[in-house]
Structure 1
Amino acid sequence: MTAVLTAMSDFSQRFLFDDTDVRGELVALRDSYQHVLAKHSYPAPVAELLGEMLAAAALLVGTLKFDGLLVLQARSEGPVPLLMVECSSEREVRAIARYDAEQVQPGDGLNQLMPEGTLMLTVDPRQGQRYQGIVALEGANLAECLSGYFANSEQLPTRFWLQADGRVARGMLLQALPADRLKDPEERAANWQHLTTLADSLTAEELLGLDNSTVLHRLYHQEQVRLFDEQPLVFRCSCSRERSASALVSLGEEDAQQLVVEQGGSISIDCQFCNQKYLFDAADIAQLFAGGGSEPPAQTKH
């Protein structure tokens, strides 16, 4: 009997081919995807592409050992000028898209939404050197673009499969590991071709609808596959009143107070990711620059 993905939580799950030098990762996003979509009224093609980006970022975090933030960003001059997903090493995600509603048509894919675009991957560790890579959005879909990015960056061969339908976002990754069990280059190449060809047979309906064990059995029932424990993912925005206050302090007290006057008595700082608003009036600004912190000075203030 087929196991159907119904009440899925948000998680990534690593798997390993015991007899070869290939690892994999599967990711499922439902609640966090819905949190992202609830903040903005995205047209279906934009919501689906943003879901694929969310799944891709969660997969990429699983390939890295770091403490910090991964940012996946796509830009273009087309109907969707910006897609951005952030995923922390704690697997906390947030995402946003910018789009021109009049130009987005039902059924549009990556090439229509983001023609001649670029894809940027940034890894920003809390300690150590920041890494950034940029590649053209050349491919029929986001999965092809990401696979091409790894093929051109001289990193370990890596392939992506991504799907999103406005309800759930799913992704799968295969990545070659350094030679250990298979030493012969031709044998390694043949094995990689075998595993990726099988993965290419996975349909969108299967990836979106089946649980991880069933997906792996469907593809690799003749292989020795080890599935590891689930790692939870969650939507969480990193905005805060304190961070907004720090941005105001960087303006300088005179300019901040002038901005209060220009905006009719209070400054509103809006988070683009979650739509949270942070208000600061003249008393808040005075308190900030007197070293009193970012919390409102009066308990009765809202």
Structure 2
Amino acid sequence: MSDLPDTDFTQRFIFDDRDVRGEMVGLERSYAEVLAKHPYPQPVAQLLGELMAAAALLVGTLKFDGLLILQARSEGPVPLLMIECSSEHEIRGLARYEAGQIADDATLADLMPEGVLALTVDPVNGQRYQGMVDLHGQDLSECFTNYFVMSQQINTCISLTADGTRARGLLVQQLPADRQKDSEDREESWNHVTALANTVKAEELLGLDNETVLHRLYHEDAVRLFDIQPLKFRCSCSRERSGNALVSLGQADAQQLVIEHGGQIEVDCQFCNQRYLFDATDVTQLFAGGGTDAASETRH
């Protein structure tokens, strides 16, 4: 067993003598919760874990209250990957895939050829923002690194790995000039940090605690590691949200659905498999403004 400080966390660090910050993430329980909802093939499970780690890392860089949504789409065997991570560090995710078309050694290019990744920030207060990047990198680590450099003009280096049991991530990012004012010094410093970051191995990220990983990479640098911030799986679905979805259809269409489905509509959450049931009485109550409090029971 590894000596991780907790199974699900993010942890920030900073270089005392350089204009560089970093963050590490580990996912185990929340990763297992996501994988338990669907029978994912191993390459899909790994890709999903890497995207979960990326979402958890990025939430820490954005500094906002709200929801971060990562959505990767393609015309390949994996048409959709989707992760949602809140500023409260609550995470959920899912993948859609074509059964029988996933080779054991499938790469990102095999699974999601010509794929596109959308990064959406949905703040509680303020304007919704979306950025896009093509999935043209060798792996998700390279794709996200390219996204920050090309779309955000922020020097960033990201390493992501997952093995179906644990998902881990490492991010280093250049800060505005403060400790290092000279541009050549800044460039040399950044090259030093990223050259070492790129030497980290998947087995090190998956099997060692953060302090050990950072010591192996930067034992000659002054690096401060902050307290861990816990993460957890949580699905934001609810009976109320499902009822609102029915209301958005309009009363006539909702009532027709009840008839077509033998007297009961099933609304399933794709993230957690929770099933919400609505009969004719429930639908009448919804449109009368009575809400969902006295409605039918839910079941898995």
The normalised TM-score by structure 2 is 0.97
- Deviation of residue 128 (structure 1)? 0.6
Equivalent residue of 1:127, what SS?
coil
* Paired residue type of 2:83: V
Corresponding residue for 1:295?
A: 293
- Deviation of residue 292 (structure 1)? 1.4
Quick one: which of 68, 71, 83 aligns to 2:69? 71
For residues 108-143 of structure 1, the C-alpha deviation after alignment (integer angstroms, 9 at most, x for no partner) is 111110111111111010111111111111111000
- Deviation of residue 231 (structure 1)? 0.3
Task: Give the conservation status (yes or no) of the 8 Å contact 1:5–1:208.
Answer: no
Task: Give the conservation status (yes or no) of the 8 Å contact 1:73–1:85.
Answer: yes
* Paired residue type of 1:5: D
Task: Give the conservation status (yes or no) of the 8 Å contact 2:277–2:298.
Answer: no
Aligned residues between the structures = 299
Summarize the alignment of residues 227-242 of structure 1 with structure 2, pairs less than 5 Å apart.
227-242=225-240
Corresponding residue for 1:30?
A: 28
Paired with 2:295 and 2:48, the residues of 1 have a C-alpha distance of 40
- Deviation of residue 39 (structure 1)? 0.2
Summarize the alignment of residues 133-144 of structure 1 with structure 2, pairs less than 5 Å apart.
133-144=131-142
Paired with 1:85 and 1:116, the residues of 2 have a C-alpha distance of 19
Summarize the alignment of residues 32-71 of structure 1 with structure 2, pairs less than 5 Å apart.
32-71=30-69
Task: Give the conservation status (yes or no) of the 8 Å contact 2:84–2:91.
Answer: yes
Quick one: which of 191, 194, 198 aligns to 2:192? 194
Segments of 4+ in structure 1 off by > 2 A? 3-8, 295-298
Task: Give the conservation status (yes or no) of the 8 Å contact 1:33–1:168.
Answer: yes
Paired with 2:79 and 2:295, the residues of 1 have a C-alpha distance of 40
Corresponding residue for 2:254?
A: 256
The normalised TM-score by structure 1 is 0.96
Unaligned runs of 5+ in 1: none
Per mean C-alpha deviation after superposition, the further-off stretch among 245-254 and 289-298 is 289-298
Paired with 2:152 and 2:288, the residues of 1 have a C-alpha distance of 52
Corresponding residue for 1:4?
A: 2
Percent identity over paired residues:
65
Summarize the alignment of residues 1-302 of structure 1 with structure 2, pairs less than 5 Å apart.
4-5=2-3, 8-297=6-295
Unaligned runs of 5+ in 2: none
Equivalent residue of 2:249, what SS?
coil
For residues 223-245 of structure 1, the C-alpha deviation after alignment (integer angstroms, 9 at most, x for no partner) is 00000000010000000000000
Paired with 1:7 and 1:63, the residues of 2 have a C-alpha distance of 21
* Paired residue type of 2:136: E
Root-mean-square deviation over aligned CA pairs? 1.5
Equivalent residue of 2:118, what SS?
strand
- Deviation of residue 297 (structure 1)? 4.8
- Deviation of residue 186 (structure 1)? 1.1
Equivalent residue of 2:148, what SS?
helix
Specify whether residues 301 and 225 from structure 1 end up closer, same or farther in structure 2 by C-alpha distance, changes over 3 A only: closer
Task: Give the conservation status (yes or no) of the 8 Å contact 1:78–1:113.
Answer: yes
Task: Give the conservation status (yes or no) of the 8 Å contact 1:68–1:126.
Answer: yes
Paired with 1:301 and 1:112, the residues of 2 have a C-alpha distance of 39
* Paired residue type of 2:185: E
